[in-house]
């Protein structure tokens, strides 16, 4: 017997000012979601409460958790997972796929140039001080040719859909972008909970990520190596992304190592196995530049491997992503992306950039200070959604405070118009119903020597708090399974 409780979408209030992913401006369900909406409407709110609990237990038991440090104890929490998937139609996806690939390639050219001839600076397209003042620029990389000529093997591109229905890129993450394991977990969890819905939609798989990643790693093997020995290096089991590190190693069938498992001798890297040293050729590193090698960077860091940079510069091992990529995923460089794409690829950017004001430029700084209430102020070098001020949420006093901070170090800040992230129906536990919440999308792009791959899917992150625009998991965001549909629906 079907339980009779309130209909699942009863309390769904569409906000006409925002782009709603499933309802159009006349409150009709968009075509692509029609079948799914009908299927979900057959379930009662109680059913969803139960499925939601099951999905949570599944994540918890599998240990797909992160740790929260309280006063007395360490608590394990799961990353919230939402039962309502996001669907992207094939045409729309093709644009995203071409767009993120274009950006990743342009960034790779840009990095080569920045660490070699620096033509883009000489020609005055990107100002020198953006590079020279960047904390992520590494002198060690100057003049060095990374294997295969690839810097950003793995790129995570963050996109949003604005109220105009267009996609905009918010960030290019080309240091150690994370989240791909959740793409795969979310798919597994949704299949377990509601396998029936997959009968109605032909969706691209996401489980092929690891095999493609391994192929990419193998394309950038050092010279003279036949079958390369690839490893994943992690800061260890207490790192918040440890699950992802172990997942990727397991899925690729390669060793998951910590810094202390490796050593360098005569500029070759070896891992310490039970049968003695074993040479390592390609390292997918999930530790930041500054921790890679205590001889070159932070001398007190125990996470890295002494001598690793020397081995890398001798061409005896390949680091993925290359050190020093951070110089290009700086929020200030982001604003030059349209020019960077044109300069290197001679193409028009496929995906929109959000218009950006540089506080380092006096006239733009003036505009920012006068219009703070309509802008988002972001520090250029923070990750995880920290240090962001959203103008229309600030009190008068807070606006003054922000003005002072920005004036004190204008180079550190950029400002953008407040983008209204699209909303998507999201199951809200407290209310036992679906409500609109803001979402973004992180895509994953792989670049290798003569090989490229864009994962057909991605991580749709959702801000669970009502009205909140920040979707990062460190700020209480959840995520959704993301379906890229096949052409022949």
Partner 1 sequence: MLARVANNLFWMGRYIERAEHVARYLNVNYFSSLDAPNELSQSRQFVLQSMLFMADDFSRTENELNEQEVLYDIALNPDRAYSIINYVKLARENANSARDLISTELYESINKFYHFVLNYSVENFTQRGLYDFTVQVTENVSILRGKIRGTLLHDKVYAIIMLGVNIERATQIIRIINSKYKDAVLAQGSYGDTLKNSYEWTTLLKCAESYDMMRRFYRKTPTSFTTLEFLILNPDCPRSVINSLNQVCEHIKVLSHEKYPSKTSSEFLIGKVRAKYQFKIIEEIESDLQTFIQNILDDLNSIALKLENEYFNY
DSSP 150-218: -S-SEEEEEEEE-TTS-EEEEEEE-SS---HHHHHHHHHHHHHHHGGGGGS--B--STTHHHHHHHHHH
The reply to whether 51 sits near partner 1 by the rule CB under 8 A is no
Considering only residues 387 through 426, tell me which ones interact with partner 1, judged by CB under 8 A: none
Provide, rounded to whole angstroms, the least separation between the CB of residue 256 and partner 1. 4
The reply to whether 205 sits near partner 1 by the rule CB under 8 A is no
> In 3-state terms, what secondary structure has residue 265?
strand
Whether 446 contacts 452, CB under 8 Å: yes
- Beta carbon nearer to partner 1, 62 or 489: 62
Closest by CA position to 85, among listed 195, 248, 241: 195
The reply to whether 68 sits near partner 1 by the rule CB under 8 A is no
Residues in contact with 464: Cβ distance below 8 Å, sequence separation at least 6, in sequence order: 80, 426, 428, 437, 476, 477, 478
Candidate residues 191, 192, 272, 361; the one interacting with partner 1 per rule CB under 8 A: 272
- Beta carbon nearer to partner 1, 66 or 112: 66
Looking up tokens 């099951």 gives: 54
The reply to whether 386 sits near partner 1 by the rule CB under 8 A is no
Question: What is the helix (H) or strand (E) element at residue 247, kind and residue range?
Answer: helix 242-252
Closest by CA position to 171, among listed 452, 440, 392, 456: 440
The reply to whether 257 sits near partner 1 by the rule CB under 8 A is yes
The reply to whether 273 sits near partner 1 by the rule CB under 8 A is yes
- Beta carbon nearer to partner 1, 69 or 91: 69
Provide, rounded to whole angstroms, the least separation between the CB of residue 411 and partner 1. 42
The reply to whether 287 sits near partner 1 by the rule CB under 8 A is no
Whole-angstrom distance, CA of residue 357 vs CA of residue 417: 9
The reply to whether 77 sits near partner 1 by the rule CB under 8 A is no
The reply to whether 67 sits near partner 1 by the rule CB under 8 A is no
The reply to whether 1 sits near partner 1 by the rule CB under 8 A is no
Candidate residues 256, 310, 311, 318; the one interacting with partner 1 per rule CB under 8 A: 256
Provide, rounded to whole angstroms, the least separation between the CB of residue 29 and partner 1. 37
Integer CA distances (angstroms), 315 to 47, 81, 267, 282, 319, in order: 57, 42, 9, 11, 10
- Beta carbon nearer to partner 1, 132 or 266: 266
The reply to whether 122 sits near partner 1 by the rule CB under 8 A is no
The reply to whether 240 sits near partner 1 by the rule CB under 8 A is no
Size of the site for partner 1 (CB under 8 A): 23
Q: Which stretch binds partner 1 (CB under 8 A): 86-94, 119-127, 230-238, 297-305?
A: 230-238
Provide, rounded to whole angstroms, the least separation between the CB of residue 349 and partner 1. 39
The reply to whether 381 sits near partner 1 by the rule CB under 8 A is no
Q: Hey, what are 380's tokens? A: 């250029």
Whether 412 contacts 379, CB under 8 Å: yes
The reply to whether 317 sits near partner 1 by the rule CB under 8 A is no
Whole-angstrom distance, CA of residue 400 vs CA of residue 390: 13
Whether 174 contacts 456, CB under 8 Å: no
Provide, rounded to whole angstroms, the least separation between the CB of residue 236 and partner 1. 8
Whole-angstrom distance, CA of residue 283 vs CA of residue 288: 13
Provide, rounded to whole angstroms, the least separation between the CB of residue 273 and partner 1. 6
Which stretches of the chain bind partner 1, using CB under 8 A? 60-63, 232, 236-237, 242-243, 246-247, 249-250, 255-258, 260-261, 271-274
């Amino acid at each position: 017997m079907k339980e009779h409780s309130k209909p699942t979408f009863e309390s769904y209030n569409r906000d006409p000012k925002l782009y709603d992913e499933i309802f159009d401006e006349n409150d009709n369900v968009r075509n692509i979601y029609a079948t799914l909406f009908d299927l979900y409407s057959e379930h009662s709110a109680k059913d969803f409460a139960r499925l939601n609990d099951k999905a949570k237990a599944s994540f918890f038991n599998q240990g797909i958790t992160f740790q929260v440090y309280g006063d007395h104890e360490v608590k394990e929490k799961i990353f919230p997972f939402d039962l309502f998937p996001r669907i992207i139609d094939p045409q729309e996806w093709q644009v995203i796929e071409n767009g993120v690939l274009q950006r990743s390639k342009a960034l790779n050219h840009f990095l080569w140039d920045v660490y070699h001839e620096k033509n883009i600076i000489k020609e005055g397209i990107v100002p020198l001080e953006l590079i020279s003042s960047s904390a992520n620029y590494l002198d060690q990389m100057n003049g060095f040719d990374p294997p295969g000529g690839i810097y950003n093997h793995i790129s995570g591109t963050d996109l949003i859909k604005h109220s105009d229905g267009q996609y905009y890129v918010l960030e290019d993450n080309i240091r150690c972008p994370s989240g791909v394991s959740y793409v795969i977990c979310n798919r597994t969890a949704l299949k377990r909970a509601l396998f029936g819905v997959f009968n109605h939609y032909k969706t691209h798989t996401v489980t092929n990520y690891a095999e493609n990643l391994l192929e990419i790693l193998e394309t950038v093997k050092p010279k003279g190596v036949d079958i390369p020995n690839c490893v994943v290096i992690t800061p260890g089991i207490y790192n918040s992304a440890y699950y992802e590190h172990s997942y990727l190693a397991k899925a690729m069938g390669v060793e998951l190592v910590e810094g202390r498992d490796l050593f360098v001798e005569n500029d070759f890297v070896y891992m310490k196995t039970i049968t003695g040293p074993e040479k390592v050729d390609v390292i997918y590193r999930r530790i930041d530049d500054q921790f890679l090698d205590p001889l070159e960077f932070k001398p007190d860091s125990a996470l890295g491997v002494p001598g690793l940079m020397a081995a890398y510069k001798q061409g005896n091992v390949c680091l993925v992503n290359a050190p020093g990529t951070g110089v290009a995923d700086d929020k200030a460089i982001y604003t030059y992306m349209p020019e960077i794409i044109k300069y290197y690829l001679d193409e028009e950017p496929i995906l929109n950039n959000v218009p950006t004001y540089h506080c380092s430029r006096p006239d733009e700084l003036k505009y920012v200070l006068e219009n703070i209430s309509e802008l988002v102020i972001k520090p250029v070098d923070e990750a995880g959604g920290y240090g962001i001020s959203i103008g229309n949420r600030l009190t008068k006093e807070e606006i003054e405070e922000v003005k002072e901070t920005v004036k004190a170090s204008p180079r550190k800040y950029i400002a953008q118009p407040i983008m209204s992230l699209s909303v998507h129906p999201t199951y809200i536990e407290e209310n036992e119903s679906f409500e609109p919440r803001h979402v973004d999308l992180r895509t994953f792009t792989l670049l290798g020597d003569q090989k490229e791959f864009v994962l057909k899917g991605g991580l749709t992150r959702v801000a669970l708090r009502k009205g909140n625009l920040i979707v990062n998991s460190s700020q209480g965001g959840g995520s959704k399974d993301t379906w890229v549909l096949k052409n022949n629906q």
